[in-house]
Structure 1
Amino acid sequence: MLALVTFVGFTGFVAAVSYWKTKDDKMDSSDAYFLGGRSLTAWVIAGSLMLTNLSTEHLVGLNADAFNHTIAVMAWETTAALAMVVTALYFLPRYLKSGLTTIPEYLANRFDEQTRVIASLLFLFSYVIAILPVVLLFGAAGLESLFNVSETFGISQNEATWIMVWGVGTLGSLYAIFGGLKAVAISDTVNGVGFLIAGLLVPALALIMVGDGDMLAGLTEVYREERPKFDITGDEPGSFLPFGVLFTGMIVNQIFFWCTNQSIIQRALGAKNLAEGQKGVLIAACFKLVGPFVIVLPGVIAYHMFKDTLGPEDYLMAYPMLVKAVLPDALVGFFAAVMVGAVLSTFNSVLNSSATLFSQGIYKLFVKPDAGGQALVRSGRYCSIALALAAMAFAPLIDTSGSLFNYLQKINATFFGPMLAVILLGMTTRYVSAFAAKMGMIIGPIVFYLLVFACGDSVQAFVQSLLGTNEEIHFLHFLALVFVVTTGLMLLVSKIRPAKQAYEQVYTKDVDITPWPHAVKAGAAISIVTILFYVLLAQ
């Protein structure tokens, strides 16, 4: 009963704060609905960035990988901090200077409207096929493993999955459909505080248990007895994240995801000015450096506590077992509310971004070119409803026999490399043509699909024989290869069919782009701390 009270209490508190902060806002313009009226401050941006990214796939999935392998998987978090520094110092000033609402809008300015449409469709496709349904399914699976929802209510696991998918999906949709970006960002921020508190409580309580009341003694024991697990460069066979990918596809993945991905960068595009945007992104980068203590360290602690009872094949149960072992009954409801909040934060954020892409890049161009603010908002809401229903219907049908995390990352990687090549060449060159950009966005994903999916086994066999190895070549290496191939293709095509005139960026003056005076220093400090992780933990 206490668990139910704390669950409803925290969930209701998040909803109440979101309503209170947005009740007087008028959602009658595209800026108000899609960008929060360009009024977001640093802490709201930081909280929304963190919760848009983090969810149960990180808590359960990456902790599970740390249980089976080493803390090398923390690279998903630490290298993200470096990419976010690049966002704050290089990409965001250019985005805000153009007064953008979406990344495809930049491509329209730089190349042409056809390039914008292709980019919008690629973003929407990846969101609909991968992120939206998988986030819901991950959330349902995580809640089931953590709290035995089916057993508690006396129903089958399949029935519990349907109930949780539709429950979380409906709740997340309400924020995105009726509140717009500002409601999403505020709910993310409040949930983010809860996520950080709950996430840090688990390893702290576990170490206290290991150390018989002394957290430092517990950490010392875990480090001493599981020393190989703390090798941040650990590259054992079969690792989910080999160290070598940090210098190939991980760079491409992180720069795309944190610098150019619509569902992420839209929070920064809603900043009241560049200084607030830069502070928000850099604060979120600091949170990413805390991330390993929440989504990696518990996996190592779980290995120390359960290695004799939990086999490698049951690694996904590592984090749920740890939570059940250390969490007091009074905190179970709060922890469940935080988990639900993390899932719906990712879901409603991606849903809001999808609506933005549709209304700005599809509806306004093809359906109603003269659409005003209210018509665009209305089309965005209709799009959100349709996508939410489709995601909730499709999520329980996804095959869960394989790795959902790998499925999500591979689907996204199909578009990451080519899209990043197009955006980077658009920013760093003046004569790469619109025709070359369209070629890159169409051919690049096809090449990745052939290398990793359609002809994956044959390609693996050929590359393994070429390199003289029996180990599987990680898909992030192919991501880097496709990025290079797409870049080369675009440069070659632009030589044959160059742009008719050089691109010049126009300052729209929609946002004050005076930079935060301490942005460079803060970015340098974050970069140094990230590098120190690898220097101090390398074995």
Structure 2
Amino acid sequence: MHRAPVSDPHCPLTPWLSPRALRNGEAPPPPPSKSNFFFELSFLSMENSLPVDMYAGALFIQQALRWDLYVAVIGLLAITAVYTVAGGLAAVIYTDTLQTVIMLAGGLTLMGFSFVKIGGLESLQAKYFKAIASSHKGNSSCGLPREDAFHIFRDPVTSDLPWPGVLIGMTVPSLWYWCTDQVIVQRSLAAKNLCHAKGGSLLASYLKILPLFMMVMPGMISRVLFPDLVACADPEICRKICGNPSGCSDIAYPKLVIELLPLGLRGLMMSVMISALMSSLTSIFNSSSTIFTMDLWRHFRPRSSEWELMLVGSRVFVLLLVVVSILWIPLVQASQGGQLFIYIQTISSYLQPPVAMVFILGCFWKRTNEKGAFWGLLTGMLLGFIRLVLDFIYLQPQCGEPDHRPSVVRYVHYLYFSMILSVITTVTVVVVSLLTEPPSEEMISHLTWFTRWDPPAEKHPAVSTSPDSGSGVRKSECPPAQIDISVVPENISNDNTSKCLLLYTGCVSIKISSMHFVKVIEAGNVT
């Protein structure tokens, strides 16, 4: 079984690339400077995910134990770091497998209790629009449920989630996450063989149907049951309730767990949610340290020892990542009106489309070359970073306050910006690729859709002129390498632990972590 982490930008789930990665326990691909595309920027998205996970997990601990937010963060990190640093990817896989089963059981249990309490789906539809805080002022629209709360396709101009942006703008970052994100890549390459990798991905796609019923609707029920807490709109009242003047929708799911479930199940569900956060944190720690050591540190110190890589990657870099993430938490609280789910989506829309579009072009257009990909990534990432900085400088005003933000921040929805960024990146890649030299046949062989069935590339032996030969006859330095690119049904390493990884690749991808359960924390704002 091959469990070496990689940072290859190509999706390991695509049939024509998985054999290349899983073949014969193959080592990680060459560094980006020797491969097709530059992919050193993966850790940026992880750095934005890490404070979100910390904040979401700390909210649960804060609501349950009444601890200070940052004390809860430190406690969560301490427990997570112990088995992540000590056990590496193997420890992450085994613990995540067990935690996923617990997450599914706990989430389905809470869903049942929630619908029984509210009286079913029809009762939820009737009561949701009446879930208004008692402190609400009658002449204000602040704190009122959205009229389109039960609609998926919403107004393309005035809604919080315009339907063109949901269909196109949200699809591009999703493609990035499921096909190129280091966390998902690592788990796909840890599969026993190609069949298991595909099967695990398909199983995860079916499980992705559950969040609507298991997380989103219980979040709406929480607003109905606790309107004075979840639906608060007055900044001073919200500050007293949850410490965040922007709103308290983030506590919707924790409040539901603490108040609705009986004592025994309450503890189980708290364990479920903390497990989800720990699962996500360990994945980010392991993957980010891999990217740093294998792609960055080895680039500057190619002769570094294993001990040095372990010390720098698993210890020093992770510690630095944690410190920066803790300092980032106040920005997470204040941004996007205090809505955690919206914060996650904005980060995805600003940073992920360039990588996704380069990936698509690299897979389906043979003319794409390294220079085109580099300048496309650079242009897209620069524009996305500028928009991200503008969002942090010009925070969304609270309800009822005038909006004096620049037009590009005020009127260009983040999902529409994702679409614009995708177009700009695509045009840049195409133009630069056409103006520069095309990639060689050897570089694209078996790496694109149209070259996946190419015959094996012929390797000519290197020759040199031997000074010992008076006639100057050119002699071969080494025999030609015999390369077998056939897909084998099993990895040749007889590692029995891969049976556990088969279950894991199917379960862990559901990601019932903060990246998903924060959708329900948003209660009326996201629904």
Q: Which runs of 4+ in 1 moved over 6 A?
A: 98-102, 455-461, 507-511
What is aligned with 1:285?
A: 205
Deviation of 1:190 after TM superposition, in Å, equals 1.0
Q: 1:405 to 1:220 in 2, by over 3 A?
A: closer
What is aligned with 1:401?
A: 334
Letter paired with 1:260: T
Deviation of 1:88 after TM superposition, in Å, equals 5.6
| 1:176 matched to 2:84 | yes
Deviation of 1:258 after TM superposition, in Å, equals 0.7
Indicate which of 174, 177, 188 corresponds to 1:254: 174
| 1:415 matched to 2:351 | yes
8 Å Cα contact 1:181/1:352 also seen in 2: yes
TM-score by structure 2 length?
0.67
8 Å Cα contact 1:137/1:396 also seen in 2: yes
What is aligned with 1:219?
A: 121
Letter paired with 2:94: I
Q: 1:134 to 1:510 in 2, by over 3 A?
A: farther
What is aligned with 1:265?
A: 185
Separation in 1 of the partners of 2:24 and 2:166? Answer: 32
What is aligned with 1:208?
A: 116
8 Å Cα contact 2:19/2:487 also seen in 1: no
Separation in 2 of the partners of 1:287 and 1:183? Answer: 23
Answer with 1 or 2: which has the greater Rg: 2
| 1:487 matched to 2:426 | yes
What is aligned with 1:357?
A: 291
| 1:139 matched to 2:57 | yes
Separation in 2 of the partners of 1:356 and 1:510? Answer: 26
What is aligned with 1:125?
A: 44
Deviation of 1:489 after TM superposition, in Å, equals 0.8
TM-score by structure 1 length?
0.66
Deviation of 1:476 after TM superposition, in Å, equals 1.7
Q: 1:383 to 1:437 in 2, by over 3 A?
A: farther
What is aligned with 1:444?
A: 380
8 Å Cα contact 1:460/1:473 also seen in 2: no
Separation in 2 of the partners of 1:225 and 1:96? Answer: 52
What is aligned with 1:166?
A: 74
Letter paired with 2:358: V
| 1:504 matched to 2:421 | no
Letter paired with 1:390: V
Separation in 1 of the partners of 2:486 and 2:76? Answer: 35
Separation in 1 of the partners of 2:486 and 2:282? Answer: 25
What is aligned with 2:469?
A: none
Q: Write out aligned runs for 1:7-46 (5 A).
A: 34=5
Indicate which of 368, 371, 378 corresponds to 1:432: 368
How many residues in Structure 1 have an aligned counterpart in Structure 2?
407
Deviation of 1:430 after TM superposition, in Å, equals 2.6
Letter paired with 1:149: R
What is aligned with 1:386?
A: 319
| 1:323 matched to 2:262 | no
What is aligned with 2:280?
A: 346
Secondary structure at the counterpart of residue 334 of structure 2:
coil
- Which whole-Å deviations, capped at 9, do the CAs of 1:484-509 have from their partners, x for residues lacking one? 11111111111111235233336876
Letter paired with 2:314: R
| 1:305 matched to 2:241 | no
Separation in 2 of the partners of 1:437 and 1:333? Answer: 49
Letter paired with 2:254: P
Secondary structure at the counterpart of residue 230 of structure 1:
coil
- Which whole-Å deviations, capped at 9, do the CAs of 1:47-103 have from their partners, x for residues lacking one? xxxxxxxxxxxxxxxxxxxxxxxxxxxxxxxxxxxxx9x94657645654697776x
- The alignment yields a C-alpha RMSD, in angstroms, of 3.7
8 Å Cα contact 1:133/1:395 also seen in 2: yes
Q: Write out aligned runs for 1:83-122 (5 A).
A: 87=13, 92=18, 95-96=21-22, 105=30, 107-108=32-33, 110-111=35-36, 115-116=37-38, 119-120=39-40, 122=41
| 1:231 matched to 2:171 | no
What is aligned with 1:12?
A: none
Q: 1:355 to 1:441 in 2, by over 3 A?
A: same
8 Å Cα contact 1:177/1:385 also seen in 2: no
Deviation of 1:306 after TM superposition, in Å, equals 4.0
Separation in 2 of the partners of 1:335 and 1:194? Answer: 9
Separation in 2 of the partners of 1:254 and 1:222? Answer: 30
Q: 1:397 to 1:229 in 2, by over 3 A?
A: closer
Identity rate, percent: 26
Which segment drifts farther, 334-343 or 379-388?
Answer: 379-388
8 Å Cα contact 2:332/2:343 also seen in 1: no
8 Å Cα contact 2:13/2:188 also seen in 1: no
Separation in 1 of the partners of 2:404 and 2:376? Answer: 21
8 Å Cα contact 1:177/1:384 also seen in 2: no
Separation in 2 of the partners of 1:319 and 1:203? Answer: 11
Deviation of 1:373 after TM superposition, in Å, equals 5.7
Deviation of 1:384 after TM superposition, in Å, equals 4.9
Separation in 1 of the partners of 2:175 and 2:330? Answer: 32
Separation in 2 of the partners of 1:236 and 1:495? Answer: 35
8 Å Cα contact 1:93/1:274 also seen in 2: yes
Letter paired with 1:382: R
Deviation of 1:328 after TM superposition, in Å, equals 0.3
Separation in 2 of the partners of 1:452 and 1:363? Answer: 27
Structure 1: unaligned runs, 5 residues or longer: 1-24, 26-30, 36-83, 151-159, 212-217, 465-470, 516-521, 523-539
